[in-house]
Amino acid sequence: MTSLGLVLVTTFLASTVEAIEMVTIVVGVGATRGWRATLIGAVSGFAVLAVVVAVFGLALSAIPIGPLRLIVGALLLVFGLQWFRKGVTRVAAHGLAGMRASHTDEELAWAGPGFDWTAFVLAFKGVVLEGLEVAFIVVTFGVTANQLGSAVIGGVAAVVIVGAIGAAVQPAVARIPRSLLQLVVGTMLTTFGTFWAVEGIGVVWPAGDAAILVLLALYVLTALTLISLERRHAFGFSPWRQA
């Protein structure tokens, strides 16, 4: 394989990992809280990202990503743990049956005339952080191999292809029972938030990005354990029910 092709494929694969995380967050937030504010947040994130890349160009590689990861990771943990808690409580109380009922008070608030800033912020942060990761990958591979054009093509292709797949599966995501979806999205946000926050304080994960899968498995196990405990104490005291 030529140097140009190697840079393109490597950049595409590396960018795909970040693009999957970006699309996962946007699709999850949109399907859970509504698409209007989510899409505005995502588009705003891409706009900010475009300005940053255009202004800083190759100097982008000098921006410290550590503090950004710490801040965004901490914020995702705050939102993620809230959704995680609500998802555990609702699945434990109602299971998966009968949770497709539309227009609960909370859903009406999200679909009403007001703007859902939570959805906006989550989508915005997800796009900006993962977009910066893609930009760093593109600049690093492109400059190192003197194939910036090829690296840009690989990075953009990864975002476009993964985004198209996410858009295609969105209707299926929207049909998932809301209690389960809230738990799934909360688990994913908590997983990514933990990973980024720990990286942001300078800790290197032993398995690199593969640590995300380990964290995800741990949070899934925690959720299943808490759901089981909730059901066992359905008629007794549970600290989760106080919130």
Lowest-pLDDT choice from 22-31, 48-57, 117-126, 231-240: 231-240
> Which residues, including other chains, have CB under 8 Å from residue 162's CB and lie 6 or more apart?
16, 19, 20, 22, 23
What pLDDT does residue 59 have? 65
Which of the four pLDDT bands, split at 50, 70 and 90, describes residue 144?
Answer: low
Which comes out higher in pLDDT, residue 171 or 27? 27
Going by the DSSP 8-state scheme, the letter that residue 57 receives in this structure is G
Lowest-pLDDT choice from 99-103, 113-117, 150-154: 99-103
Distance CA 101, CA 63 (A): 46
Phi–psi pair at 106, nearest 5 degrees: -65, -40
What pLDDT does residue 100 have? 44
Which comes out higher in pLDDT, residue 192 or 55? 192
What pLDDT does residue 174 have? 56
Going by the DSSP 8-state scheme, the letter that residue 241 receives in this structure is G
**Based on the structure, what is the number of domains in the chain?**
1
Residue 102 has pLDDT above 90, yes or no: no
Closest CA to 125 of 71, 199, 175: 71
Q: Give counts: helices (H), strands (E), the chain.
A: 8, 0
- pTM here is 0.60
Helix, strand, coil percentages in the chain from 3-state DSSP, rounded to 5: 85, 0, 15
Distance CA 25, CA 124 (A): 10
Residue 96 has pLDDT above 70, yes or no: no
Structure confidence by residue, pLDDT tens digits, 30-74: 877 788 888 999 999 988 888 877 776 666 556 566 776 787 778
**Cα→Cα distances 192→44, 72, 115, 175, 218, Å:** 21, 10, 25, 24, 13
Structure confidence by residue, pLDDT tens digits, 163-187: 888 778 766 655 666 677 678 878 8
Distance CA 145, CA 63 (A): 21
Which of the four pLDDT bands, split at 50, 70 and 90, describes residue 218?
Answer: very high
Residue 236 has pLDDT above 70, yes or no: no
Check if the beta carbon of residue 188 is closer than 8 Å to that of residue 28: yes
Distance CA 236, CA 27 (A): 37
Check if the beta carbon of residue 19 is closer than 8 Å to that of residue 49: no
CB atoms within 10 A of CB 228: 11
Structural domain that includes position 28: 3-242
Which comes out higher in pLDDT, residue 53 or 12? 12
Work out the mean pLDDT of the chain and round it to a whole number: 76
Query: Between vectors from CA 118 to CA 219 and to CA 222, what angle results, nearest 5°?
Result: 10
**Cα→Cα distances 179→53, 84, 96, 170, Å:** 39, 10, 7, 17
Closest CA to 119 of 28, 23, 216: 28
Going by the DSSP 8-state scheme, the letter that residue 204 receives in this structure is P
Residue 241 has pLDDT above 70, yes or no: no
Which of the four pLDDT bands, split at 50, 70 and 90, describes residue 223?
Answer: very high
